[in-house]
Structure 1
Amino acid sequence: MISKNVNSLIKVSILSSLSIFSAPLFATEKTIPELVDAVNGTLDTESREAGKKVKLRNHAKGFCTSGVFKPSAKINNALAIPLFNQAEIGVIARFSLGGTNPHASDKGAGRFMSLKIDGNNESLNFVTTNSQVFFASDIDDFFTFQTKVKQGAEGKQWLIDNKPDAKAFFEHIDQMLPSSSFANSAYFGVNSFLFNTYDNQITAGRWIFEPVEEKSTLSQVQLAHLTDDFLKEELLTRIKAKPAMWNVYIKFAEEGDSIDDPTILWPESRQHLLVGEVIINGSRDDEAATLQCEKSIFNPVQLPKGIAPSADPILNARAPAYIESFIRRL
């Protein structure tokens, strides 16, 4: 448990970095605390204080494990990212479900994977989901979506009737089937980043994690024989015998593709570059970084030299929102 003194030091440090976000973001009236309230469903003082007491957070149901990232031997022929000069880099992974319920059922279709790749001098974090489609292109629509879905069926129908991006998102996830494991799910970074190429150009791309194992989904009959908590045990048991592995790609944009809107999918015909391989094997599960993973933040704009965030407002709101949520749980 973190001591009160350490808690205070952490809070002072983070509040200093957060102060620039106290004003509204971009062309919106919404602030970072308001966005966190929308996600948590704590839009009034009473519920907000109650949420702090129970350490309310998004992706509340999840667990951490570890492994390594091995960059492709040829990656430096394409990109100028010094971090990828290392032959092998340690990984901390958190697998989770969406939402604030720590007792949510694993039988839904949503799967999330966050990664910290900590090199000798730099780090690279990922925040990914098994859905390629995002539900909002700007901060106002993000806030509206989060508040409306908390209203249940009526709020969802309002979004379908009034927000085309939300409608497309619901249509996409309604077609998704639950995977049988975190290990055989593909994961996508819905936000775009800017990458330095070996010939001093800058190109936009999005992350894709393709499982090495064949993808497998579960029928309703199969789900009926599983508990609501099967995913954690399945993965941790699996990696004792054989690592879970993903090939990591960057999907590059072409001229005319929308870079700053996470609701717009780029065609599958776009170039894919193999960056490396994530291998989750539990090899660092006894180390402090893994054991304390739940007390850390996966910051998608913590980037090494050669990678920069795009102007996507959703991407650039993530880090301060994660910090605000973290502070409330101290």
Structure 2
Amino acid sequence: MSAIVATGALFTWALHVHAENVPVPTRIVDLFEQDGGRHPGFRRNHAKGVCVSGHFDSDGQGAALSRASVFERGSVPVIGRFSAPGGNPQQEDADTTVRSFALLFRLRGGEEWRVAMNSAPVFMVATPQAVLEQLDASRPDPRTGRADPERLAAFQQRHPETRALLDWENAHPPSSGFDNAAYYSIDTFRFTDAAGSTHPVRWRVEPQRPYQPVSDAPADDPDFLEHRLAHDVEQGPVRWHLVLTEARPGDPLDDATRAWPDDGRHREIDAGTLVLDRVQSQIDGPCRDVNFDPLVLPAGIAASNDPLLVARSTVYAESFRRRVGEEAQAQQGHTPRGLTAWLAAVKAWIDPSRSSGTSGTRRTD
């Protein structure tokens, strides 16, 4: 409980110090609810997801950049969650273009390292204010139920930095599964080694399985990503390599819309292997109550000045506060309107014959 209180104090401090740069988190979360609908008990973004667990085997090489204990040779347990952006837990997998992957590393001494990554190496916008504008431009038109193309075009014209992500998506079709995509930190972090030297770093996890574009999404299975992952893990663990990339002079350190040049001149370190061997439903799996706040960092890793980091932390906290409050009301018998029916619908999605009690899925019959 003390850790939760301390984290809450950190959020309050961050909001106070950065109030001139970071919009009120409730405004952003409110817009997520407007765009994706309000679904009590679920995350306001990345609402649809699946829990995973396993371990990280460090080879000790990452210690060249950071003294964080996660990079000492050995193994630590991890809890993770795969998802896609969006506030609707009923969205079909075929409609998603970006995969997301969050992890919690449980380290010695009670430390944790929480990361939230996307399958694209850049973000749509560079500032919290632009996130607000993007969400506002993406609000569904009441007449069509979809975003107004003219509003989106106007937003993109005001923010030419969005072109980097759109161009990347056009050149990189979504992966056919969660387990054959690479995932990127997007933001820069400051790693400090044992000698006290600081290294600006971004990282990615590279899949052991080769990337394949999604070209055979089954029309009768809106949850094929989770089903394929559960099937693959039943055959054996799935793996990624954690690759650390150190910045070179001139690389942007506080702009998540700008990728570092892929010129072969950066120092890269393969820090170890991530191994996932269990898939669990997000309804009652180990990731359900985890806030994958990217500012929960171990000694040896610190945030950069990227303004999105504080914004992400505070927005995640607001989303977490809302859904935990809804769950608490439900447990006390004061279920918010619609939550009882929603949870009943969630249970109806679970197909025991396919999930074997591990993977929350919709019925496809």
TM-score, normalising length: structure 1: 0.85
Within the alignment, does 1:160 sit opposite 2:151 as a pair? no
Mapping for residues 229-268 of structure 1, pairs under 5 Å: 229-268=223-262
CA distance in 1, matches of 2:22, 2:298: 32
Contact in 1 for aligned 2:101/2:118 (Cα 8 Å): yes
CA distance in 2, matches of 1:185, 1:267: 20
Consecutive unaligned residues of structure 2, counting only runs of 5 or more, are: 141-146, 326-365
Q: Counterpart of 1:194?
A: 190
Amino acid aligned to 1:312: D
- Cα deviation for residue 184 of structure 1 reads 0.3
Amino acid aligned to 2:30: D
Contact in 2 for aligned 1:67/1:280 (Cα 8 Å): yes
Amino acid aligned to 1:34: R
Q: Counterpart of 2:23?
A: 30
Contact in 2 for aligned 1:249/1:275 (Cα 8 Å): yes
Q: Counterpart of 1:308?
A: 302
Q: Give the one of 107, 115, 130 matched to 1:126.
A: 115
Q: Counterpart of 1:3?
A: none
CA distance in 2, matches of 1:32, 1:20: 13
Contact in 1 for aligned 2:58/2:70 (Cα 8 Å): no
Amino acid aligned to 1:263: T
- Cα deviation for residue 303 of structure 1 reads 0.9
Within the alignment, does 1:94 sit opposite 2:88 as a pair? no
CA distance in 2, matches of 1:185, 1:57: 24
Amino acid aligned to 1:237: H
Identify if the C-alpha distance between structure 1 residues 54 and 196 changes in structure 2 by more than 3 Å, giving closer, same or farther: closer
Q: Counterpart of 1:138?
A: 127
Identify if the C-alpha distance between structure 1 residues 59 and 52 changes in structure 2 by more than 3 Å, giving closer, same or farther: closer
CA distance in 1, matches of 2:54, 2:22: 41
- Cα deviation for residue 171 of structure 1 reads 2.8
Identify if the C-alpha distance between structure 1 residues 200 and 22 changes in structure 2 by more than 3 Å, giving closer, same or farther: closer
Contact in 2 for aligned 1:116/1:126 (Cα 8 Å): yes
Q: Counterpart of 2:213?
A: 217
Per the alignment, in what secondary structure is the counterpart of residue 195 of structure 1? strand
> For 1:121-176, what per-residue CA distance to the aligned partner results, in whole angstroms no more than 9, with x for missing partners?
21111100001121111121111112112251222211222211123322322333
Q: Counterpart of 2:291?
A: 297
CA distance in 1, matches of 2:193, 2:230: 37
Contact in 1 for aligned 2:61/2:269 (Cα 8 Å): no
- Cα deviation for residue 73 of structure 1 reads 3.3
Q: Counterpart of 2:51?
A: 64
Per the alignment, in what secondary structure is the counterpart of residue 137 of structure 2? helix
> For 1:76-119, what per-residue CA distance to the aligned partner results, in whole angstroms no more than 9, with x for missing partners?
34532233225110010100011001111111321010000101
Give the number of aligned pairs: 312
Identify if the C-alpha distance between structure 1 residues 273 and 19 changes in structure 2 by more than 3 Å, giving closer, same or farther: same
Q: Give the one of 34, 40, 45 matched to 1:41.
A: 34
Identify if the C-alpha distance between structure 1 residues 311 and 26 changes in structure 2 by more than 3 Å, giving closer, same or farther: farther
Contact in 2 for aligned 1:116/1:123 (Cα 8 Å): yes
Contact in 1 for aligned 2:14/2:310 (Cα 8 Å): no
Identify if the C-alpha distance between structure 1 residues 246 and 225 changes in structure 2 by more than 3 Å, giving closer, same or farther: same
Mapping for residues 100-115 of structure 1, pairs under 5 Å: 100-107=87-94, 108-115=96-103
Identify if the C-alpha distance between structure 1 residues 141 and 181 changes in structure 2 by more than 3 Å, giving closer, same or farther: same
> For 1:42-95, what per-residue CA distance to the aligned partner results, in whole angstroms no more than 9, with x for missing partners?
7xxxx9xx8374646100110101000011233334532233225110010100
Within the alignment, does 1:73 sit opposite 2:73 as a pair? no
Consecutive unaligned residues of structure 1, counting only runs of 5 or more, are: 1-5
Amino acid aligned to 1:188: Y
Amino acid aligned to 2:54: G
Per the alignment, in what secondary structure is the counterpart of residue 129 of structure 2? helix
CA distance in 1, matches of 2:43, 2:107: 31
Identify if the C-alpha distance between structure 1 residues 231 and 224 changes in structure 2 by more than 3 Å, giving closer, same or farther: closer
Contact in 2 for aligned 1:68/1:280 (Cα 8 Å): yes
Per the alignment, in what secondary structure is the counterpart of residue 325 of structure 1? helix
- Cα deviation for residue 14 of structure 1 reads 6.9
CA distance in 2, matches of 1:57, 1:157: 25
Within the alignment, does 1:182 sit opposite 2:178 as a pair? yes
Amino acid aligned to 1:119: L
Q: Aligned Cα RMSD in Å?
A: 2.8
> For 1:22-56, what per-residue CA distance to the aligned partner results, in whole angstroms no more than 9, with x for missing partners?
558453372121122233327xxxx9xx8374646
Contact in 1 for aligned 2:60/2:73 (Cα 8 Å): no
CA distance in 2, matches of 1:19, 1:242: 43
Amino acid aligned to 2:26: P
Identify if the C-alpha distance between structure 1 residues 84 and 13 changes in structure 2 by more than 3 Å, giving closer, same or farther: closer
Amino acid aligned to 1:100: G
Per the alignment, in what secondary structure is the counterpart of residue 94 of structure 1? strand
